[in-house]
Structure 1
Amino acid sequence: MQQQPAISDYGFLSDSRSGALVGRDGSIDWWCPHRFDGASVFGRLLDPAAGHFQVAPVGVGGPGHRVERAYRPDTLVLRTVHHTPQGSVAVTDALAAETGARAHELGVNSPAVLIRVVEGLSGRVRMALDFVPRPEYGLLTPYLHEQPGGGVVARAGPAVLVLRAADLPLRAGRDRVTHEFEVSAGQVLGMDVAFGETYGDPPARLEPVVALAETTQAWEAYRETHGYSGRYPELVRHSTTVLTGLTYARSGAVAAALTTSLPERIGGDRNYDYRYSWLRDFSMTMRALWVAACPTEASRLFAWVARSIGRIGDDPVPVLFGLEGERDLSEHHCTHLRGYADSRPVRIGNDAWRQRQLDVPGEVISAVYRLRDYLGATFDTELREMVLGLTEQVASTWHLPDRGMWETRDTERHYLSSKVLCWVTMDRAVRLADRLGTQADPRRWARVRDEIREVVLREGWNERIGAFTGAFGSPELDASALFLPVAHFLPATDPRMRSTIAMVERELGTESGLLRRWTTDPAGFLLCSFWLVECLVMTGEQRRAQELFERVVGNANDVGLFSEQIDLTTGAQLGNTPQALSHIGLINAAWRLTEPDSF
């Protein structure tokens, strides 16, 4: 099995169009510059031969070498300080914002330029540059040519990359650029990699040091437009910044994660592509954005959902879409890639878009209900038809089995969480009826709502176990049952919910405070752990909820990033990163600790 950096070793860069991962060793091992779900040009994250761009002291990671790193406050501009026996040097990395961009303009017209600024802090440090572009997930090895006036251009297939470093005499090798140089205290050296399309506009030209300052200012101005007055403000602000970094600015869609195929278990095959936007996450995302006082992002995300769904017919609404509303996200395997830590397959696309998942309309309509006052006393035609169409679809299909919240790829079942969100659809539609025009039928919808509730309480409760279980008739506990009080299906103080919360915590909890999704789940799932925090608050156990929250947030890496899961044996991060739902869970749990009766 190959040795490579831990998932938690990576920092996240974003221009709200694309994102990159930079390791503690100074290597950019993931960048899909066209957009989040585009092809990588640096993909060493998934295979040693799939490209990278490293700038670090010679012998990085050796004896006497120590790394400190941090984001500049309220930005995704990452500063890494390397301490070596010869001295200290800082490398500051960012994906450039458009010149003059401020606040909500961030990322709409980003130039697709990766900036790296090297600054000598003390002594004299010998540095190494290693530029190995491999477009199309490592399938292409580009031709490299030196440019008049300095710099190296790499061309292959649809991609053009230009590496520039004004103060370095870069030379093109056969398939890479390598160069060693020294940096003394007080010396500043800027470099950048600009992406362009072979048959499109040429790569942008920026002055790296100036562009870094402007990008920092753009992030700072963006954050100044938002406010949060609850508990754990630094954690919430940082998680909000991460969500902003996962937002595709052109449409407002939030990518579930930056990466594809990082495994839920090392060596396992549950390796999925999360670079798309899930409707299931919609209500939780909307809630987090409102908590963090981001109304513009919330309204843009809502507009994206309405456009992506389109007219509703008989077919189930897909659980996920591409970042500009693409529906067909058919999955294929990159068989040439070894996968992270030899975890195969590497997937591009996600076939969950084909599944029937009955919870999806409930997430969307719950978000509409949350935004109802913002959306007006009477909804416009498209919004009205969307709500009506989703409601009628649920009214006619709620009794069917589906794939459930965790998108199982085996047999359809009657999942508890799906039925509860069908109830949410009907309940919120009844409450919205006066805004839906003459086609609204709240009396019939209320009858369906009440029938769903009766079935859930009868079939979802397992008397022998003393808890709501994951699926009707199943003896298996599932942490998704914690969503019932969050969705206002039952109060957390209901005796059945108290019993369920206690059983889930006892049987699925761990010494670290993390929750597994089910008994055979090999890792702790961060979102479920934050749900438990909320449930404990709602049962009146505020102090224990706070203690659990602080234990769970301790699983972030050194720059405050969460992946999807945590290995229960080693404490290592697992799954795609950074994971939007983990940061959403943090924001919502922090607000629940602030306002126990919120939502």
Structure 2
Amino acid sequence: MKTLQMTEAERAVGTGDYVPIAEHGLIGNLRTAALADTSGAISWYCPGRFDAPSVFASLLDPDRGGLFRIAPIGEEWTARQLYLPDSAVLVTRFLGEQGVAEVVDFMPVTGRATDTMDLLVRMVRVVRGEVRLDVRCAPRFDYGRADHVLAHDGESAVFRASGRAVRIDSDRKLIPDGDDITTVLDMAAGEEAWFAVSGGVDEQVPRRVTAAEVDGRYRSTLDWWHRWVSASTYRGRWRETIMRSAITLKLLTYSPTGALVAAPTAGLPEQIGGERNWDYRYAWIRDASLSVHALLRLGYVDEARRLFRWLSARPGGVGGANGGPLQIMYRVDGSSDLDEHTLSHLDGYRSSRPVRIGNGAAHQLQLDIYGEMLDAIWTAYKGGAGRLGTSGWERLCRLADWVAAHWDQPDEGIWETRGGRKHFVYARVMSWVALDRTIRLARELGWPAETTGWTAARDEIHKQVMSQGWNPQRQSFVQAYGSDVLDAALLVMPLVGFISDTEPKWLSTLDAIGDALVSDSLVYRYDPLASPDGLLGHEGTFSMCTFWYVETLARAGRLADARFVFEKMLTYGNHVGLYAEELGLHGEHLGNFPQAFTHLALINAAITLNDFLDMPDERRPAELA
């Protein structure tokens, strides 16, 4: 909920201030996405595809980023947002003494690969009283770096810049304001208006959008989402929360390839005013792999199958760090050019600089991605979501051969630290997973494979972790060999079967993590002061790790603790059930938003906890003293 009163100065430029990260909802069309905030603005939008340059980016700079705002004028208004049930259609409501207005935002979805028109629709209606609303469409092309020119003919306008064109159509008269568009709506109960933004991919001017098309697209988009949600097989506790996370994962999917982006945004800080600001609009091997498990558990076999195909196509040849087969991330079309640049002209969210596009971590060596990928391929195969041909099997064998030959070296680790390579325990555990799952696949398929070498390497990894990854003084597994630092990534050890859920060494580690990294149920990744990561400042608690903590507590037999932590964590979601990457000291959302990692971990934690709660007492794991 947000209370706002817009001044004349704010109407002329931007919103006048930064809207909190949590005060946003997400809409999308399975190629790109947009954020709509509770002040009535589309504050982030990259037409065409997730990693394209933005045209609205007031989220990163209210004055230079560009926005499309529809908001009431005058008195103080209270704003609320909600999704229409089982959909990605977002409603922002403005409540004041004079009346109640609603802005309905959506991006049409058809599911057809041939439907390439990029369209963002905003429908305005007054449901009570009389409301005066200000409409301002002020695009800023290429992250605010390119000037544009305007051509208009009353109810349509075209913005052109840097070889790109964006069109806005409406059933109301559009008034030029410099090279932007504005209008004022004086509306009474029962009246409606609409605006449609299209194009942005190239310089070709999109065709005109009509009122009949807006109405038809609205109805078909609602129907599409209702059908998609109804296809889920999940019927347990927290279904509404789980399905909101599932819809969010679907919105983060690039339909033409099946790739899943880590988040739709760039530059949102992990620390306000700090330098931990990254571009997450790319497809991480890790995120895509972990999503396969969540989607299969919800019954979304087709989505898991598409991710399986995307993952299976990646190991083709040298492309990663140190001559390895994989990069840790790719663009949504599968290309690998992710050079990192700084947008020095943007202020950054609440002056958090630098604002980066591209991602310099793309060529880091992260050995864990092979385990996550092969575990996903194994899970998809067993779940009926993936089949391997002989050429695909040969690629996986080459990948396993590479892991068997290269696992025993330092890497940058799951958290993409920039402070030098270490012998991370998590990387070793996931290297074990990579070989273990490939061995299982070989046995299932009965196809030729060098399983003797894989088995020897797998067993050596397990022995090494159990001896060198264990710190007897802390009575815990630790972040890296020779270290006494704890790391929340260790929570995955029992989840992948590396160690038993109730093994004494594991339960001791779980207690140590609870003592060192858990703050009022929220989990930090690690302590950057104890384990320098090459960056200044600190960060918030990592929401994915909190959901991992829920799973491990449940599997260890601590069901009451697991349920309490889970229920508490749900209170940190925003008003429409979305989560950023991290949470700050006051529960504020930090980092890119919404984050796939968090939502897929929520799904897995909820399903695991639900299954244990439904389990007869005699089958539940015993909680050890």
Give the alignment's TM-score, normalised by structure 2.
Answer: 0.90
- Assess if the C-alpha contact under 8 Å between 2:308 and 2:385 holds in 1: no
1:312-371: per-residue Cα shift (whole Å, max 9, x none)?
A: 684341111111111121111111111111111111111111111111111111011112
1:193 and 2:197 matched: yes
Partner of 1:470: 479
- Which whole-Å CA distance do the structure 1 matches of 2:302 and 2:139 have between them? 37
- Which whole-Å CA distance do the structure 1 matches of 2:358 and 2:367 have between them? 21
The offset of 1:158, in angstroms, is: 2.4
1:591 and 2:591 matched: no
Q: Cα 1:526–1:317, aligned 2, differ >3 Å: closer, same or farther? A: same
1:91 and 2:107 matched: no
- Assess if the C-alpha contact under 8 Å between 1:16 and 1:107 holds in 2: no
1:429 and 2:438 matched: yes
1:446 and 2:455 matched: yes
The offset of 1:384, in angstroms, is: 0.1
- Which whole-Å CA distance do the structure 1 matches of 2:242 and 2:386 have between them? 32
1:123 and 2:129 matched: yes
- Which whole-Å CA distance do the structure 1 matches of 2:431 and 2:239 have between them? 34
- Which whole-Å CA distance do the structure 2 matches of 1:465 and 1:282 have between them? 34
What residue identity is the alignment partner of 2:107? L
1:120-155: per-residue Cα shift (whole Å, max 9, x none)?
A: 1111100100110111001122111112x6211111
What residue identity is the alignment partner of 1:256? A
Higher mean displacement: 448-457 or 431-440: 431-440
What are the residue-to-residue correspondences of 1:320-331 with 2, within 5 Å?
320-331=329-340
What are the residue-to-residue correspondences of 1:95-494 with 2, within 5 Å?
95-97=107-109, 101=110, 105=111, 109-147=115-153, 150-166=155-171, 168-200=172-204, 202-203=206-207, 205-207=209-211, 208-311=214-317, 314-373=323-382, 379-435=388-444, 439-494=448-503
- Which whole-Å CA distance do the structure 1 matches of 2:101 and 2:386 have between them? 58
1:301-320: per-residue Cα shift (whole Å, max 9, x none)?
A: 11112223324684341111
- Which whole-Å CA distance do the structure 2 matches of 1:41 and 1:203 have between them? 19
- Which whole-Å CA distance do the structure 2 matches of 1:377 and 1:133 have between them? 42
What residue identity is the alignment partner of 2:265? T
Which of the residues 487, 507, 514 maps onto 1:498? 507
- Assess if the C-alpha contact under 8 Å between 1:120 and 1:183 holds in 2: yes
1:552-576: per-residue Cα shift (whole Å, max 9, x none)?
A: 11111001100000002x2100000
- Which whole-Å CA distance do the structure 2 matches of 1:437 and 1:482 have between them? 33
Give the alignment's TM-score, normalised by structure 1.
Answer: 0.94
Give SS of 2:131's match. strand
The offset of 1:292, in angstroms, is: 1.4
What residue identity is the alignment partner of 1:58? I
- Which whole-Å CA distance do the structure 1 matches of 2:607 and 2:218 have between them? 33
Q: Cα 1:106–1:472, aligned 2, differ >3 Å: closer, same or farther? A: farther
Percentage of pairs with the same residue: 36
- Which whole-Å CA distance do the structure 1 matches of 2:298 and 2:410 have between them? 36
What residue identity is the alignment partner of 1:564? E
1:63-84: per-residue Cα shift (whole Å, max 9, x none)?
A: 3x11222101111100111011
Partner of 1:527: 544
- Which whole-Å CA distance do the structure 2 matches of 1:111 and 1:438 have between them? 45
- Assess if the C-alpha contact under 8 Å between 2:305 and 2:386 holds in 1: no
Unaligned runs of at least 5 residues, structure 2: 1-15, 529-537, 621-625
Q: Cα 1:11–1:438, aligned 2, differ >3 Å: closer, same or farther? A: closer
Q: Cα 1:142–1:377, aligned 2, differ >3 Å: closer, same or farther? A: closer
Partner of 1:23: 37
- Which whole-Å CA distance do the structure 1 matches of 2:113 and 2:594 have between them? 18
- Which whole-Å CA distance do the structure 1 matches of 2:421 and 2:201 have between them? 43
- Which whole-Å CA distance do the structure 1 matches of 2:301 and 2:201 have between them? 34
Partner of 1:562: 579
- Assess if the C-alpha contact under 8 Å between 1:107 and 1:248 holds in 2: no
The offset of 1:177, in angstroms, is: 1.3
Aligned-residue CA RMSD in angstroms?
1.9
What residue identity is the alignment partner of 1:220? H
Higher mean displacement: 311-320 or 497-506: 311-320
Give SS of 1:500's match. helix
Give SS of 1:136's match. helix
1:517 and 2:521 matched: no
- Assess if the C-alpha contact under 8 Å between 1:316 and 1:357 holds in 2: no
- Assess if the C-alpha contact under 8 Å between 1:75 and 1:220 holds in 2: yes
Q: Cα 1:110–1:547, aligned 2, differ >3 Å: closer, same or farther? A: farther
Partner of 1:39: 53
- Assess if the C-alpha contact under 8 Å between 2:314 and 2:326 holds in 1: no
Q: Cα 1:377–1:163, aligned 2, differ >3 Å: closer, same or farther? A: closer
Give SS of 2:70's match. strand
- Which whole-Å CA distance do the structure 1 matches of 2:155 and 2:500 have between them? 66
Q: Cα 1:206–1:424, aligned 2, differ >3 Å: closer, same or farther? A: farther
The offset of 1:96, in angstroms, is: 2.0
- Which whole-Å CA distance do the structure 2 matches of 1:501 and 1:408 have between them? 23
Partner of 1:14: 28
Unaligned runs of at least 5 residues, structure 1: none
Give SS of 1:266's match. coil
- Assess if the C-alpha contact under 8 Å between 2:165 and 2:203 holds in 1: no
- Which whole-Å CA distance do the structure 1 matches of 2:37 and 2:203 have between them? 32
Which of the residues 68, 75, 87 maps onto 1:75? 87
The offset of 1:176, in angstroms, is: 1.3
The offset of 1:377, in angstroms, is: 11
The offset of 1:376, in angstroms, is: 9.4
- Which whole-Å CA distance do the structure 2 matches of 1:91 and 1:110 have between them? 25
The offset of 1:225, in angstroms, is: 2.5
The offset of 1:231, in angstroms, is: 2.2
What residue identity is the alignment partner of 2:170? A
- Which whole-Å CA distance do the structure 1 matches of 2:588 and 2:112 have between them? 32
